[in-house]
Amino acid sequence: MSTYRVAQVTSPGGGFELVEREVRQPGPGHVRIAVEACGICHSDALFVDGALPGVTFPEVPGHEIAGRIAALGEGAAERDWQVGDRVAVGWFGGSCGWCKPCRQGDFIMCVRLQVPGWAYDGGFAEQVIAPVDALARIPEGLAAADAGPMACAGVTTFNALRHTDARPGGDLVAVLGLGGLGHLGVQYAAAMGFETVAVARGAEKADFARELGAHHYVDSTSDTSVAEALQALGGAKVVLATAGNSAAMSATVDGLAPRGQLVAIGATTEPLDISPVQLLMAGREVKGHPSGTSQDVQDTMEFSVLHGIRPMSESVPLADAEAAYRKMLAGEARFRMVLTTG
């Protein structure tokens, strides 16, 4: 009997333990992936803490998966997948294909969306079984430790930006936050041809923001408000809010240009403090943006290779999942913790 290791928690909020599982063969329409790397996302806490309906224990989280196909289930080869193919799986871990959003082609809005670590065991493991529609091909030149975070943090920022009304060649785009999402958002915004503003706490982050490609830096702790600073630059066509801080998001609204958009991708349960008047008079919009499908993940990775964009991360062995997860929760990761199995 062959086995593989997983890092699991056995109760809500519990610590990780390394255990062995028996290797299974993938069912129809699925593949088994030999995991090489898996990023640790803050959203993993929703599963570890049992904060979402349907989470069962023992729980194996992880939805920033990169590896190689180790085995094919029935029908997978007909979908042009082969053993040895390099693949990534992100928040989008498969769709039902028959709910109304799926029939409309909006697969990321599937009412039965299969998120790894929620619908099935995630990537804090040496092996994972996933449906073929969740697979994105990893392009040449992208290491597994970089591809994993692209499947969630990368696609969320890239996909959000390309679905805004901002256009290259002069539109001002502000990225709120320089963390796990924000440090990628600044790189993508600059590479897409936007006049890019990084907004974060502390003057000491200005040089780093410019290294990432930002044309301007706004210190949210300075005497000048963020909204005033953005208006001094002409007003933001888009604010991409990557920091999970509702007060910080709300503070940017008056910095939007007419018909500007606040796009929230940083997760928080706190309500926004925005009045209808702030939106009505200037025709502003506030919206959220989900992650992206497997094709969106593939687009993100290919764009990243083309423009030399990579996540900044720290790789640690799977056996150190507990320490790496706690480091992420404490906000001490710079900027993504990645578990590796090599």
> pTM for this structure?
0.95
Task: State the pLDDT at residue 20.
Answer: 97
Task: State the pLDDT at residue 71.
Answer: 98
CA 240/CA 175 separation, integer angstroms = 5
Q: Which two tokens stand for residue 313?
A: 């991360």
Task: State the pLDDT at residue 160.
Answer: 98
CA 239/CA 189 separation, integer angstroms = 11
Q: Are 27 and 73 in contact (CB under 8 A)?
A: yes
Residue 117: partners with Cβ closer than 8 Å, 6 or more residues away: 44, 47, 59, 60, 61, 62, 63, 123, 124
CA 167/CA 47 separation, integer angstroms = 37
Sequential pLDDT tens for the chain (342 residues) = 799 999 999 999 999 999 999 999 999 999 999 999 999 999 999 999 999 999 999 999 999 999 999 999 999 988 899 999 999 999 999 999 999 999 999 999 999 999 999 999 999 999 999 999 999 999 999 999 999 999 999 999 999 999 999 999 889 999 999 999 999 999 999 999 999 999 999 999 999 999 999 999 999 999 999 999 999 999 999 999 999 999 999 999 999 999 999 999 999 999 999 999 999 999 999 999 999 999 999 999 999 999 999 999 999 999 999 999 999 999 899 899 999 998
Task: State the pLDDT at residue 79.
Answer: 87
Tell me the pLDDT tens digit for each residue of 103-146.
999 999 999 999 999 999 999 999 999 999 999 999 999 999 99
